Structure 1
Amino acid sequence: MTKNNNKPQTAEETELVSSSPAIEKEQKKTEQTPPQSTTKTDASVDKKSRRLGTVAIIISILLSGGTFLASQQQTTQQQIKIAQLEQQLKAADSTFDAKLVTAEQRITDKADEIVRKATVLMQQQDKSIASLQLAIADVQGRRPNDWLLAEADYLVKMAGRKLWLEHDVVSATRLMENADQRISALNDPSLTPLRRAMANDIATLKAIPLIDRDGLVLKLNSLEQQINQLPLASAILPEANAIEKKEVSTNINDWQSNLMQSLDDFAGHFITYRVREGNVIPLLSPEQHFYLTENIKGKLLLASKALYREQSEVYATALESAKLWSSQYFQQDDPAVKSFMAQLDSLAKFKVDVRYPQKLKTQALLSDFISERLRRNVQSIGETQVKTESAKKALVPEKQASVENTTEGDKS
């Protein structure tokens, strides 16, 4: 069976081939033996061959099953490795995408920052160029008397600050008058509307009522020092009722009434009583006297603060309270109290609130005039620059033509 087959031999066939020499030896022995024992040997050979065939089949089945299981295990392991590699690839892709997004975001942020810085630098350069142009225009277009105009502008601004921040009307008026003198020294007919507005502002400032706040505060301080010296009023009692004096009659029948009247007259030399109806104002204790004087001083101090703050209602209320307490608890017949009350009345007549103008017309006109003059100077500078650039451009072709002519002459 193994000699005539040209196909590749399996493990079972190799076992059969290895067992064939023993079979040939047995056949030779049977051939040598007598024919009676041939049947027995053939039967034993058949049994052995069948056993060998079954063993070979079982071995081949086991080998094929083992190879199949090994291949299955290898395929499962390969599938597991493939799944792991796929997961690794997905994780790498996700990390790569995240890194790519972050890199793009950084690049865009840096680009935006660069653009922002560039725009800021351009704006700063534009502002610096504009300021330089204004400075150049101010220097080139400056006239001999322009310093008077700048000084007038400064004086007008100082007048506004004195008026609105310090409420100093006198200083503001003097500053406006000095500015008017500077404008008049320019002798420029185009400044007539400016001088008209300045005259109106000076007139409105002079129409504001002047209040001597320092003098009024000094008067309030002097009254505050006089409070401790003012005498207190004694206990004020209401007037007693009038008592009718009865006379003794000459009639004898009125002896009882005459006796009672004589007894009353005799007792009146020792004891007298009168009937009074009304409210009695008692005397103040030393502690109450101290509180009274301090309260009046506080009202005068509040009036001085309201005077500087221009609060007319607070000023009038404080003086009215001080006057009311003085009239109730001080002796009104005393000359010092009368003088104190008269001074309070005179101080209460002053009006401490003043209405100031909201703005000065001169400031706007003066600033407009200065800006207009600077604008004209800037325009003139720009026109001169354009003319010079055009002249330079016109000179360039002439130079090129002259150079070409010289080169042609050299060649000839």
Structure 2
Amino acid sequence: MTDNNKTSGTDKDTSAPASPTGKETPSSSKQNGKPSATEKSAAKSTPADTPASDKNTATPPPQAKEKKRGNKLSIVAIVLVIALGGGLYYHGHQQSQQLTANISALTDEISSLKSALANSEKQSQEAVKKAVQDTQVLIEQQDTTIQSLQSALADVKGRRPNDWLLAEADYLVNQAARKLWLEQDVLTATTLMQNADQRIAELNDPSLTPIRQAMAKDIQQLKAVKRIDRDGIVLRLNSLQQEVDKLPLANAIMPEAEDVAPQQVSGNVDDWQQNLKASFSDFVGQFITYRKREGDVVPLLTPAQTFYLQENLKAKLDQAVTSVYRENGRLYAESLKTAKEWAERFYNQDADITKSFVATLTNLSQQTIEVSYPEALESQALISDMLADRLRRDLAPLQTGENNQ
């Protein structure tokens, strides 16, 4: 900008025409305040030089034109430089703003992560601290419980040694109840009850007299239960099963003949016709016997039918064995009755083994296998309540001490 102003000023001074009189124009004298070089040359020169100076002033030289063109190019270059610098500045400004925003976002994210990490660490420390406190409390409680149990055990061993006999009697009574109702073993149940009564008798405690009275009543009821030799009945039934294959089959089973009473000759003369007929029948009966039978004749059995008969007879005896253990008297009687009917119908009744087989079935069918057991043992509840009451009374002081701690 400064170069342009200086150049333009120079051009103005150069291009200004000199007055023909050689005097300074008012404008030039006002601007400089001093006489210019042109005015001095005009004053010195002769009048003949004035036309030549006017000719130079009207047509500027080529150097001035080139100088003026260079000034325009410099102006354009300066404008382009300024525009390019402004664009670069604007682009750099936007990039700096974007980087500043990204840095701010990353800073906020790092701050949130730091706060979250701090909170998580704080929560973890609190959880660990709480777990340690809970563990300490549990350890203290367990120590207290162990000490209480140890003191209780020492107290029971030292002060009430006879309670072990009462607990043993309670165990024996419970075992007797199981033997009675689960296994129907009356003999073992009676023995266990007697042993329990002996344990209580060793305590020599008058407060246990009601229990001993109930136990005596229970023992008497058990002794009154009818004893059944189940093993003996089952063994006899098993022996009959083994004899089934040895029983002889009947060739043919004929119905029994009717008994005919012989006719007697009377002493009355009027009955001569009947007496004659009776005499003739008696005479003929010595040679020919006529008997009347009513019923169906059972034919001979095939080998397959014989096999099925034997297997069915064994199955009925096996069913009777099962009924003995289940104490099902109705099924037991029906099984033996069916077995006896088949033996009398299909086997030879004149054989000794058949007679013994049928007699054994008859004897077994008369046996009673059903037994009425006591519904409950009175001493069982009494001894259990007594034992629980004593234990509760012994542990009450210990529980009070724990609550006070």
TM-score (structure 1 length as normaliser) = 0.62
Query: Deviation of residue 54 (structure 1)?
Result: 4.3
Residue of structure 2 in register with 1:230 after alignment: 247
Specify whether residues 301 and 131 from structure 1 end up closer, same or farther in structure 2 by C-alpha distance, changes over 3 A only: farther
Whole-Å separation in 1 of the counterparts to 2:337 and 2:208: 53
Q: For 1:61-210, what aligned pairs fall within 5 Å after superposition?
A: 61-82=79-100, 84-85=102-103, 88=106, 121=139, 124-125=142-143, 127-142=145-160, 148-210=165-227
Indicate if the aligned counterparts of 2:197 and 2:212 stay in contact, CA closer than 8 A. yes
Residue of structure 2 in register with 1:41 after alignment: 60
Q: Structure 1: 5+ residue runs without aligned partners?
A: 3-12, 241-275, 387-412
Query: Deviation of residue 218 (structure 1)?
Result: 0.8
Whole-Å separation in 2 of the counterparts to 1:52 and 1:284: 152
Whole-Å separation in 1 of the counterparts to 2:323 and 2:74: 130
Specify whether residues 339 and 363 from structure 1 end up closer, same or farther in structure 2 by C-alpha distance, changes over 3 A only: same
Indicate if the aligned counterparts of 1:233 and 1:329 stay in contact, CA closer than 8 A. yes
Query: Deviation of residue 334 (structure 1)?
Result: 4.2
**TM-align CA RMSD:** 4.7
Query: Deviation of residue 216 (structure 1)?
Result: 1.1
Cα deviations across residues 101-128 of structure 1 (Å, max 9, x unaligned)?
Answer: 8767766775676576556645644543
Cα deviations across residues 64-87 of structure 1 (Å, max 9, x unaligned)?
Answer: 332333234334434544554466
Q: For 1:262-277, what aligned pairs fall within 5 Å after superposition?
A: none
Whole-Å separation in 2 of the counterparts to 1:327 and 1:351: 23
Cα deviations across residues 337-377 of structure 1 (Å, max 9, x unaligned)?
Answer: 34433433443454545454455332332233234334444
Question: Partner letter of residue 216 of structure 2?
Answer: A
Indicate if the aligned counterparts of 1:230 and 1:337 stay in contact, CA closer than 8 A. yes
Indicate if the aligned counterparts of 1:194 and 1:362 stay in contact, CA closer than 8 A. yes
Q: Secondary structure at the match of 1:41?
A: coil
Residue of structure 2 in register with 1:292 after alignment: 309
Say if 2:383 is the partner of 1:366.
Answer: yes
Identical pairs, percent:
40
Q: Structure 2: 5+ residue runs without aligned partners?
A: 16-36, 42-51, 258-292
Indicate if the aligned counterparts of 1:137 and 1:378 stay in contact, CA closer than 8 A. no
Indicate if the aligned counterparts of 2:14 and 2:57 stay in contact, CA closer than 8 A. no
Whole-Å separation in 2 of the counterparts to 1:65 and 1:199: 127
Query: Deviation of residue 222 (structure 1)?
Result: 1.1
Query: Deviation of residue 223 (structure 1)?
Result: 0.8
Query: Deviation of residue 284 (structure 1)?
Result: 3.2
Whole-Å separation in 2 of the counterparts to 1:289 and 1:378: 75
Specify whether residues 239 and 304 from structure 1 end up closer, same or farther in structure 2 by C-alpha distance, changes over 3 A only: closer
Whole-Å separation in 2 of the counterparts to 1:99 and 1:310: 78
Cα deviations across residues 273-303 of structure 1 (Å, max 9, x unaligned)?
Answer: xxx9997755333344334323332343343
Whole-Å separation in 1 of the counterparts to 2:191 and 2:185: 10
Whole-Å separation in 1 of the counterparts to 2:338 and 2:142: 63
Question: Partner letter of residue 153 of structure 2?
Answer: A
Query: Deviation of residue 214 (structure 1)?
Result: 0.8
Whole-Å separation in 2 of the counterparts to 1:237 and 1:108: 105
Whole-Å separation in 2 of the counterparts to 1:105 and 1:348: 85
Cα deviations across residues 115-144 of structure 1 (Å, max 9, x unaligned)?
Answer: 76556645644543443233122122136x
Specify whether residues 39 and 349 from structure 1 end up closer, same or farther in structure 2 by C-alpha distance, changes over 3 A only: farther
Cα deviations across residues 255-289 of structure 1 (Å, max 9, x unaligned)?
Answer: xxxxxxxxxxxxxxxxxxxxx99977553333443
Specify whether residues 187 and 209 from structure 1 end up closer, same or farther in structure 2 by C-alpha distance, changes over 3 A only: same
Specify whether residues 339 and 87 from structure 1 end up closer, same or farther in structure 2 by C-alpha distance, changes over 3 A only: farther
Q: Secondary structure at the match of 1:34?
A: helix
Indicate if the aligned counterparts of 2:253 and 2:345 stay in contact, CA closer than 8 A. no
Indicate if the aligned counterparts of 1:137 and 1:374 stay in contact, CA closer than 8 A. no
Whole-Å separation in 1 of the counterparts to 2:208 and 2:140: 38
Indicate if the aligned counterparts of 1:141 and 1:377 stay in contact, CA closer than 8 A. no
TM-score (structure 2 length as normaliser) = 0.62
Indicate if the aligned counterparts of 1:137 and 1:381 stay in contact, CA closer than 8 A. no
Cα deviations across residues 186-212 of structure 1 (Å, max 9, x unaligned)?
Answer: 333211221122123223323433221
Indicate if the aligned counterparts of 1:303 and 1:315 stay in contact, CA closer than 8 A. yes
Specify whether residues 161 and 237 from structure 1 end up closer, same or farther in structure 2 by C-alpha distance, changes over 3 A only: closer
Residue of structure 1 in register with 2:284 after alignment: none
Indicate if the aligned counterparts of 2:252 and 2:300 stay in contact, CA closer than 8 A. yes
Indicate if the aligned counterparts of 2:190 and 2:223 stay in contact, CA closer than 8 A. yes
